[in-house]
Amino acid sequence: MGATMRRSTQAILAASAASMVYGQGQVLDLGTVDWTLTSPNFSYINVPGKVPSQVHLDLQASKVIGDPLYALNEFNLRWIAFSNWTYTSTPLTSLNANANSTWLVFNGLDTFATVEFCGQHVAATNNQFRQYYFDITDIISSCNSPVLSVNFGSAPIIANATAALPGQETWPWDVQQLYEFPNREYIRKEQSDFGWDWGPAFAPAGIWQPAYVVQLPPNDVYIRNTLVDVYREGQINLLPPDQSKDWVLNASIDYVGSLPADAALYYTIRGGNDLLDLSGRLANLSSYGGRLTGSIAISSDAVDLWWPVGMGSQTLYNLTLSVIGSRNNTLATVFKRIGFRTIFNNQTPVSQQQIDLGVAPGGNWHFEINGHEFYAKGSNFIPPDPFWPTVTKDRLQILFDSVVDGNQNMLRVWSSGAYSPDFMYDLADEMGILLWSEFEFGCALYPADEAFLENVAQEVEYQVRRVNHHPSLAYWAGGNELENLELPLANKSDPARYPQLQAEYETLFLDTIAPIVFGNSRSISYSPSSTTNGWQSLDFSRRQPITQRYNNLTVGSIYGNTDHYNYNPPQAFNMSTFPIGRFANEFGYHSMPSLQSWQQAVDPEDLHFNSTVVMLRDHHPPAGGMNTSNIYNASIGQGQMTMSAQLYYPVPNKTDSLANFSAWCHTTQIFQADFYKAQIEFYRRGSALPERQLGSLYWQLEDQWQAPTWAGIEYDGRWKVLHYVAKDVYEPVIISAFLNISNHDFEVWAVSDLWSSVSAKVNLTWYDWTGKQLDSNPISENVTIGALNGTQILSSNVDTLLADHNPTNAILAMEVTTHGKLPNSDTTQTFTHKNWFHATSLSNSSLVDPGLELSHSNETSKFTVRATKGVAAWVWLDYPSGAVLNFDANAFWLLPGEPKEVGYKVKSDTTSGRWVDGVTVRSLWDNNVR
């Protein structure tokens, strides 16, 4: 019998990329019933509650509190986190008291919940990231009033109590990064809920994920989670898959209820370019512990590959899995959308063949998609809101549009937020964004007692199985920066205890997590720490195969990935401080959001660079505790932004205080973008150097509130200077200059991440600031740029090049143009990239008024910008509040006379198009204008 799809199920499939239908069972979505929210601490609070939701959101909806993100409400609302909260349902009268079995299924409880049904205790929970399911059959059978109540204890208070338990683990004082609420490492709750250096600390509570009551007849099941693993025959995590092999599809469902002994698992796979239509019964069926598993082989020729954006199409297939009972009846059906791809994180030793090609010895550290190396271009994703229930698919769609518009193909989903919702992976599957995913541990060491490990094991098992089918899932890492930061700190502070602390780290991240990842998935690579020197050896006869390299390094060899934070402004553009590694997975510097964002969050009288409210929203360096007068640390962060702006750019000193604030905010964004640009160019050039550098993921993609942070996209979706500049240097083919600030050696390189070699035309021309061409050795030549490689265009010394010119009045315009094809594309495209080099910092350069002019055409829906008097540096189109959009280009440079047409993409608009009239243009020169 083939599992046929019924009409109703097709409709469901269209509505959602992963949904379920059931046999005769009944599923009550607890989001559809009425709830009240009360607190034993505050008898006067009794407001409607929601599922899924969190207490702060429900209190805000009932106007008990204002916007938590406004001004200093973060501090004013601490009382919510220190209180207990109860969600109580109306009587669930639609339930059947005589069902054969009744289950409560919570996809997420945040965090310390006591669940009662019909006035009886059901269970207590202690992990935000686990799915909990409870058999309440007995309770409902003798129930007068089927009321469900979920009482949440205060997470900060429970964390403190857990830390104080006798015999509890402790660590050297400086290892555990303290943000605001302490002791986050003892509990399994979103770590940034306790504060982080880019966000507020609310420690929210609530039924934050969908929840259900499931009622089943005898011999029926409810699928609570599904694993689908698609891999090449013989594939083993951490080793390169053989691309000539057929595919294996392994499917495994977790259910509640009772499965008939002869139940079978059927599949259909439909879709793709050739309208594939496969169906049948899964082989190798096994049933154990509430889990039914089977697999099939799929011919490699039968399916099209899934590729990340810019490397091919994102072909997806609809998979239906049906549990079929003894009478050929369908007990339950689940839909998953899948893709056929291998994504491999290559940490293998550099081979002799690679060395012969010029790669430095050591370990590889890069990704390969379907057997191909590629350059990973992207950033780090943080939780887009302090309150996850507000994060909808539509909201993420806007953000992910910006990811793709920004020429990014990979996000590192940072590891101390929450596991990404399925709809986030769905979007990434459709848009071709690879999601490097992580387990939620960061900037601390963690306990390794049995109860903690068991709790983590349950969490990891659920999450790995839940998301493994998404082709966008690229990688699993254990935690944030543990290997390069926390372990060395522990070693330094307490060398005697270090072996024990490292062993505990390995117990958690290798012995506990790795076997669960590898036991469920053969398609995804895993590493215990985000930043790492990689593995030293693998032994597949062991329960987990990895021996980490740590600092067993050979001089002259290069290992692992890198991060780079340097808050000493004079060193920002000193290339010798940039790390040389195989892959840059974090680097950054903070900047202010725009005036428009500040106005959403701060009263007009607080709109000053160092007003108390602005400063108390700067959490870098971390506040270091609950003291709300953390103004000292904030002043360090504000100072870093001020100093870097002063050092490198003309300093705004405008008479209008709001205009001055806005110009200052903007100048900190220019420095940020400039600093990231220098690093991205350096890393990308590394693809042509012995480090064979193959990735740049900067810190951080987006904001979760309006504050000074590392983000390139502000809270409402507005792009900072950084996101535009990253878009520009993430173009496939770029041209860049490299200055050694010590001896003034100077190089220009063209770099390409296309998969075939291209011939390119390059032009290098020196100008003065009025736009007059200097006679200093213009270059116009044709070069070849190798596949995923770079070509040096010029190697010289700036002092020699500008011997006859004043370096403060000399700028180099660079341009590369090539015709080539994106990977797996038949279409030849023109790739052009322009770049600028200034020999002295812009604060010391002879800037002139470029006489910028701006016009807009309603016909073409484009702006035209023109410099009429001189070279314009960092030309910036600004638009008013009320709309969110991005221009095709921004923060560019212009020669006089050269018109630049700029289109735009509107993401949201409450101004009925009137924002167009409010668009202004400025350049760095405007900082000099009072």
446: Cβ–Cβ under 8 A, 6 or more apart, which residues?
Answer: 185, 452, 479, 504, 505, 508
In terms of Cβ atoms closer than 10 Å to its own Cβ (0-12, 13-18, 19+), residue 405 is middle
- Minimal distance, residue 198 CB to ligand BMA, in Å: 6
Cα torsion angle, 205, 210, 213, 215, sign: negative
Build a one-symbol-per-residue string for 459-488: x at contacts with ligand BMA by CB under 6 A, - elsewhere: ---------------------xx-------
Q: How many whole angstroms separate alpha carbon 516 and alpha carbon 510?
A: 10
- Minimal distance, residue 621 CB to ligand BMA, in Å: 8
- Minimal distance, residue 589 CB to ligand BMA, in Å: 9
Build a one-symbol-per-residue string for 141-180: x at contacts with ligand BMA by CB under 6 A, - elsewhere: ----------------------------------------
- Minimal distance, residue 243 CB to ligand BMA, in Å: 34
Q: Dihedrals φ, ψ of 454, to 5°?
A: -65, -40
Which one of residues 365, 710, 831, 887 is an interface residue with ligand BMA (CB under 6 A)? 710
* Rounded (5°) CA angle 583-726-874: 140
Nearer to ligand BMA by C-beta: 426 or 586? 586
Q: Which one, of 915, 775, 767, lies nearest residue 846 by Cα?
A: 767
- Minimal distance, residue 445 CB to ligand BMA, in Å: 14
Nearer to ligand BMA by C-beta: 220 or 481? 481
3-state secondary structure 883-916: EEEEECCCCEEECECCCEEECEEEEEECCCCHHH
Cα torsion angle, 463, 467, 469, 475, sign: negative
Contacts with ligand BMA by CB under 6 A: the residue count is 10
Q: Clarify whether 605 is annotated catalytic.
A: no
And the tokens for 846?
């002879």
Which one of residues 58, 190, 193, 197 is an interface residue with ligand BMA (CB under 6 A)? 197
Nearer to ligand BMA by C-beta: 442 or 534? 442
Q: Is 121 helix (H, G, I), strand (E, B) or coil?
A: strand
And the tokens for 128?
């935000």
- Minimal distance, residue 111 CB to ligand BMA, in Å: 21
Nearer to ligand BMA by C-beta: 531 or 642? 531
Q: Is 417 in the site for ligand BMA (CB under 6 A)?
A: no
Q: Is 198 in the site for ligand BMA (CB under 6 A)?
A: yes
- Kindly identify the residues of this chain, within the stretch 419-448, that bind ligand BMA according to CB under 6 A: 442-443
For tokens 């000074």, what's the residue?
A: 708
Distance of alpha carbon 69 from the chain centroid: 21
Q: How many whole angstroms separate alpha carbon 202 and alpha carbon 70?
A: 13
Are 112 and 128 in contact by the 8 Å Cβ rule? The answer is no
Candidate ranges 108-116, 192-200, 738-746, 774-782; the one touching ligand BMA (CB under 6 A) = 192-200
Provide the β-strand partners of residue 737: 748
Candidate ranges 15-23, 190-198, 263-271, 847-855; the one touching ligand BMA (CB under 6 A) = 190-198
Give the DSSP per-residue string, 605-654: GG-STT-HHHHHT---S---SS-S-THHHHHHHHHHHHHHHHHHSPPP--
- Kindly identify the residues of this chain, within the stretch 115-134, that bind ligand BMA according to CB under 6 A: none
- Minimal distance, residue 593 CB to ligand BMA, in Å: 16
Helix ranges restricted to H, 117-270? 137-141, 155-163
- Kindly identify the residues of this chain, within the stretch 725-744, that bind ligand BMA according to CB under 6 A: none
- Kindly identify the residues of this chain, within the stretch 496-555, that bind ligand BMA according to CB under 6 A: none
- Minimal distance, residue 463 CB to ligand BMA, in Å: 20
Nearer to ligand BMA by C-beta: 215 or 561? 561
Q: How many whole angstroms separate alpha carbon 107 and alpha carbon 843?
A: 54
- To which H or E segment does residue 330 belong? strand 330-338
Provide the β-strand partners of residue 562: 584
CA separation (Å) from 874 to 694, 719, 881? Answer: 28, 15, 21
- To which H or E segment does residue 21 belong? strand 20-22
Nearer to ligand BMA by C-beta: 710 or 876? 710
- Kindly identify the residues of this chain, within the stretch 551-610, that bind ligand BMA according to CB under 6 A: 586
- Minimal distance, residue 481 CB to ligand BMA, in Å: 5
Q: Is 381 in the site for ligand BMA (CB under 6 A)?
A: no
Nearer to ligand BMA by C-beta: 196 or 769? 196
Are 648 and 641 in contact by the 8 Å Cβ rule? The answer is no
Nearer to ligand BMA by C-beta: 476 or 710? 710
Q: Is 196 in the site for ligand BMA (CB under 6 A)?
A: yes
Q: How many whole angstroms separate alpha carbon 626 and alpha carbon 647?
A: 34
Selecting among 190, 368, 461, 481, the annotated active-site residue is 481
Nearer to ligand BMA by C-beta: 408 or 890? 408
Q: Is 699 in the site for ligand BMA (CB under 6 A)?
A: yes
Candidate ranges 50-58, 196-204, 567-575, 734-742; the one touching ligand BMA (CB under 6 A) = 196-204
Q: For the CA atoms of 144, 148, 150, 151, what is the dihedral angle to 10 degrees?
A: -30
- Minimal distance, residue 446 CB to ligand BMA, in Å: 15
Q: Is 74 in the site for ligand BMA (CB under 6 A)?
A: no
Give the DSSP per-residue string, 503-549: HHHHIIIIIIHHHHHHHH-SS--EEEESS---EEEE-TTSSS-EEE-
Candidate ranges 191-199, 231-239, 330-338, 755-763; the one touching ligand BMA (CB under 6 A) = 191-199
639: Cβ–Cβ under 8 A, 6 or more apart, which residues?
Answer: none
And the tokens for 748?
């220009």
Cα torsion angle, 408, 478, 562, 647, sign: positive
Provide the β-strand partners of residue 538: 546
CA separation (Å) from 598 to 70, 590, 715, 718? Answer: 10, 15, 10, 12
Q: Is 675 in the site for ligand BMA (CB under 6 A)?
A: no
Nearer to ligand BMA by C-beta: 198 or 317? 198
Candidate ranges 193-201, 359-367, 425-433, 815-823; the one touching ligand BMA (CB under 6 A) = 193-201
- Minimal distance, residue 416 CB to ligand BMA, in Å: 7
Nearer to ligand BMA by C-beta: 421 or 708? 708
Q: Which one, of 23, 10, 1, 25, lies nearest residue 320 by Cα?
A: 10
- Minimal distance, residue 488 CB to ligand BMA, in Å: 14
Nearer to ligand BMA by C-beta: 197 or 220? 197
Q: Which residues bind ligand BMA (CB under 6 A)?
A: 196-198, 442-443, 480-481, 586, 699, 710
* Residue positions annotated with a catalytic role: 481
